[in-house]
Structure 1
């Protein structure tokens, strides 16, 4: 049985264009973009209030492109896009998207990286993507320099984003320097693309663990991003019209390096004429001040931020949050109890959820303000089809029965860079074509309005979601095995009040460590992870020493048994007061 968007969801008016860059799509009104003359300023700093009009922002992107062309010796229609890969390792700024689109103007490829990365993790991304230059910012400059050195990127090819926290003249060219450098230069020659090139050419390399294994570079084409921007905005139209929303102020806190922040906020919000209030990172008071000062209407966040608001109700009460109309969460499911509590405090808010993946350029299903069904991630986006299959590969046709979600959409990406095996394993073919295997278990139900909604029940894949970030057990296990106190190990997710879930390690120690205290070894192993991995990969769930890791005859770790063991132990402890 194939599932489709509800009848009320408009169909895509035409196939997403396949021969233009994301930047050309963002600047043109031909495809349905909200009129530029009526658009709000696309990006405004939530701390300083610094902003640019849509026209100014587009001009800055062009000037950055000209400066990059001169600095790097690149031309728009010369050399392969793979010779013009640029890393972006920075907190959110009002120039983040203009920088990305400047890279595309040169027919280059941008690879955004998480600012929580360690130098080793960033170096891996820069090397595997083939990055030739790097945009970063002062707070993470030390990490960026170490990674760039390891990846062979010289200091003259490192550029700094301008952040509100940091001023003064740094030793590196800033984005503002590039704007000034590019302004007097002659215009770049127009890009000459063949028919379908936008569907084939990579715009972004975003790193994901996919359905299993270590992080891989997802090849996201220009058309993928264009398609999902159109899909998401078209889906939202009904709810916005019902509540009289022409344009609105939207929070830009989620990292633009993450596919959720990149497409749903940075691209989609500004394409439909909204203003994104940019915050570099989450700090509760700055977050609340920005909502009050800029009268933010739409809060796209992740569940841990909602949980933080609930735990700091006394702080939230000091601010006027009455401008908020819609709180929308993604990246991880939000529990029913959390939704009920936030609605008890803010009964006038609408609360919805969405679901997507890096491999789908974000949105697969989402919630309309006109059809909210709590406990679900909403309905399928325009142009999306889905199937649900059981563990034997048979299609599930009834409501309420769990199975793995398979997806077709023009936003489904090209696959994984230099990894044909992982790409092949991510898809399945049948009489209805090629389907992306999400690895997520879902249940399809009907809302009171009679529309099909999808609930994400569990992850069939081994990934954890920590604060919305994907964490692969295999990556942590490989790192743990490098420590002398670890003879064998396995990592699972355990529940966490603030982060949703966090990694916990089960460790078998070698006989040579028999005389050592568990406390000492535990501290060393924890530090081993903290010194080399991003903070959301730290073993906040703890370390438990056991005699043997349960495995199948083929050697596969039976994490299910460890999860059962953990569940029983927590049940025996009883509820925490």
Structure 2
């Protein structure tokens, strides 16, 4: 982030001196994809200042003392005010704790308590959950604020961002932060559960982007939840730093998604694989919209199957399809695909300043391509550790002669692209690999294949116990409309035969097929397999009790 670290993220993002795209020439950083409302980059900085003044006065925040006394939780859908609000908190030398908008009242309460949040910002669709959780956590109503999403969001007897902006206009300027050299490296900015980041890898990713993409600035889709590290870093920080325009949507609906691409001529889509799967399944609907502006599609959060890639390439041959890979604990991005060096199936190459190594099952470092092992990484954007959890920190972060490494828990291989560059291919989570008579089965491989069957709308694969094989694959499937009129027994048989025709015998669905209404996932589309494993554990327990 430059040679000096005496400044916070808000100043870094708003000052041309630190290498960002000239703010006076930049596109409007955030545009509402529903209404078209936006503010210039200069206006956004001014709004941040006004918000900081009002928040500082209402909450009694000063720039002195520990930042841990100035933690603010943000529980909201995406809005154009989401990131400016976080920067307002940073201008007060505070910490923002983003909360998954899908959180229940109990989950929100737990995060409010764990983070010791002094206030809560939310939006009207989540207000009732927010009020319940805040009351349980001891946060008074006068410390709850709303990010408006439409004109009716002012009638709930809760102070809004617009109220704070008006107050801030008449308040005196804030005193500048008096940080010592190196404070920017150590001070937490975003407390992303379950980790706290000491900063964002803006310079590394932006430098990589400039080297690999001959693009001045562009229009991108801001659909990924800003509460999740992927959306928070890539869309909400890297893009504005490059001078890009982010079209903000509060959630995914296919019609709204397609309309936004057509209306704003979006050039780059940062989305998750399930959305691309829906596009393939609803290609006739998609063909009704002009998607010709799209040039590059980035996916992350979950693997993108080769069958989906092939289908998309056939439907949209001018699209470049790439993947990124990272973790919340690394401030997200570890590897990224370059448009000039795409290797389908890989997650791209290492970003500048990041280092990686692969360790095999015996603990030895892998030095040859195509040899699997656990991926370990190190770099300046890696989190400081887990808040109030020394055990997890000690298990995840390890040291050797070359420094501190984070264990990703992912099995990976290195593969050379046709251009000779090293790419990283993520095979699967190590703890999620299915061991069938000693043979490893990657759930992601089977899921990608199952999604090519016309009767499968969505799916997930886990291991289940088997007397002879130890473990075998079991599929949870959401049926498609094409399967209507067929019994579950027949549908399951046809799905199993689909696997048996194309995969080795040890990969067959010996654990069977179970149908669900929806596959449990997190906001980025990553399958919550632990929920399915617990469901399977309870089923086996019930079956044994009947014997």
Counterpart contact for 1:407–1:437, Cα < 8 Å: yes
1:164 deviates by: 3.4
Counterpart of 1:501? 460
SS at structure 2 position matched to 1:143: helix
Counterpart contact for 2:51–2:168, Cα < 8 Å: yes
Counterpart of 1:284? 254
Counterpart contact for 1:238–1:368, Cα < 8 Å: no
Counterpart of 1:73? 60
The runs of 5 or more residues in structure 1 that have no matched partner are 1-13, 208-215, 465-491, 507-525, 551-577
What's the CA shift string for 1:401-423, capped at 9, x where partnerless?
A: 00111101111110001111111
Q: How does 1:219-238 map to 2 (within 5 A)?
A: 219-221=196-198, 224-225=199-200, 228-238=201-211
SS at structure 2 position matched to 1:38: coil
What's the CA shift string for 1:97-131, capped at 9, x where partnerless?
A: 00000111111100000010111111111100000
SS at structure 2 position matched to 1:414: coil
What's the CA shift string for 1:434-484, capped at 9, x where partnerless?
A: 1111111100010000000000001124599xxxxxxxxxxxxxxxxxxxx
Counterpart of 1:44? 31
Counterpart of 1:174? 160
1:427 deviates by: 1.5
What's the CA shift string for 1:281-334, capped at 9, x where partnerless?
A: 001101000000000000000001101111111110110000000000011110
Counterpart contact for 2:322–2:339, Cα < 8 Å: yes
2 CA distance for matches of 1:252 and 1:534? 13
Is structure 2 residue 378 aligned with structure 1 residue 419? no
Is structure 2 residue 215 aligned with structure 1 residue 248? no
Cα separation, partners in 2 of 1:499 and 1:422, compared to 1, 3 Å: farther
2 CA distance for matches of 1:374 and 1:289? 28
1 CA distance for matches of 2:260 and 2:320? 19
Counterpart contact for 2:96–2:190, Cα < 8 Å: yes
1:239 deviates by: 3.5
Cα separation, partners in 2 of 1:392 and 1:18, compared to 1, 3 Å: farther
Say which is worse superposed, 124-133 or 22-31, in terms of deviation.
22-31
SS at structure 2 position matched to 1:365: strand
1:391 deviates by: 1.6
Counterpart of 2:79? 93
Cα separation, partners in 2 of 1:353 and 1:257, compared to 1, 3 Å: same
Is structure 2 residue 282 aligned with structure 1 residue 312? yes
Among residues 15, 20, 29, which one is paired with 1:33 in the alignment? 20
Counterpart contact for 1:292–1:320, Cα < 8 Å: yes
Cα separation, partners in 2 of 1:461 and 1:60, compared to 1, 3 Å: farther
Q: How does 1:543-562 map to 2 (within 5 A)?
A: 543=536, 545-547=539-541
For the aligned residue pairs, the C-alpha RMSD in angstroms reads 2.7
Counterpart of 1:271? 241
Is structure 2 residue 265 aligned with structure 1 residue 295? yes
Task: Figure out how many residues of one structure are paired with residues of the other and give that number.
Answer: 471
1:549 deviates by: 11
SS at structure 2 position matched to 1:545: helix
Q: How does 1:332-347 map to 2 (within 5 A)?
A: 332-347=302-317
2 CA distance for matches of 1:440 and 1:20? 34
2 CA distance for matches of 1:463 and 1:267? 34
- Structure possessing the higher relative contact order (Cα contacts under 8 Å, 6 or more residues apart): 1
1:31 deviates by: 2.4
Counterpart of 1:470? none
Counterpart contact for 2:124–2:153, Cα < 8 Å: no
Cα separation, partners in 2 of 1:279 and 1:390, compared to 1, 3 Å: same
What's the CA shift string for 1:476-521, capped at 9, x where partnerless?
A: xxxxxxxxxxxxxxxx999484566378999xxxxxxxxxxxxxxx
Counterpart contact for 1:88–1:113, Cα < 8 Å: yes
1:30 deviates by: 2.1
Is structure 2 residue 232 aligned with structure 1 residue 259? no
Counterpart contact for 1:505–1:539, Cα < 8 Å: no
2 CA distance for matches of 1:534 and 1:190? 37
Cα separation, partners in 2 of 1:397 and 1:449, compared to 1, 3 Å: same
SS at structure 2 position matched to 1:111: strand
1:168 deviates by: 4.3
TM-score (norm 1): 0.77
Counterpart of 1:437? 407
Cα separation, partners in 2 of 1:73 and 1:395, compared to 1, 3 Å: same
SS at structure 2 position matched to 1:36: coil
1 CA distance for matches of 2:27 and 2:53? 26
Counterpart of 1:370? 340
Counterpart contact for 1:251–1:298, Cα < 8 Å: yes
Cα separation, partners in 2 of 1:347 and 1:186, compared to 1, 3 Å: same
Counterpart contact for 2:432–2:462, Cα < 8 Å: no
Q: How does 1:428-507 map to 2 (within 5 A)?
A: 428-461=398-431, 495=447, 497=451, 501=460
Counterpart of 1:83? 69
1:539 deviates by: 5.2
Is structure 2 residue 377 aligned with structure 1 residue 407? yes
Cα separation, partners in 2 of 1:424 and 1:191, compared to 1, 3 Å: same
1:28 deviates by: 1.3
Cα separation, partners in 2 of 1:47 and 1:502, compared to 1, 3 Å: farther
Among residues 98, 112, 117, which one is paired with 1:112 in the alignment? 98
SS at structure 1 position matched to 2:375: strand
Is structure 2 residue 122 aligned with structure 1 residue 152? no
Cα separation, partners in 2 of 1:15 and 1:167, compared to 1, 3 Å: closer
SS at structure 2 position matched to 1:269: helix
Counterpart of 2:469? none
Cα separation, partners in 2 of 1:346 and 1:104, compared to 1, 3 Å: same
Among residues 45, 53, 58, which one is paired with 2:45 in the alignment? 58
Cα separation, partners in 2 of 1:391 and 1:112, compared to 1, 3 Å: same
Counterpart of 1:194? 180
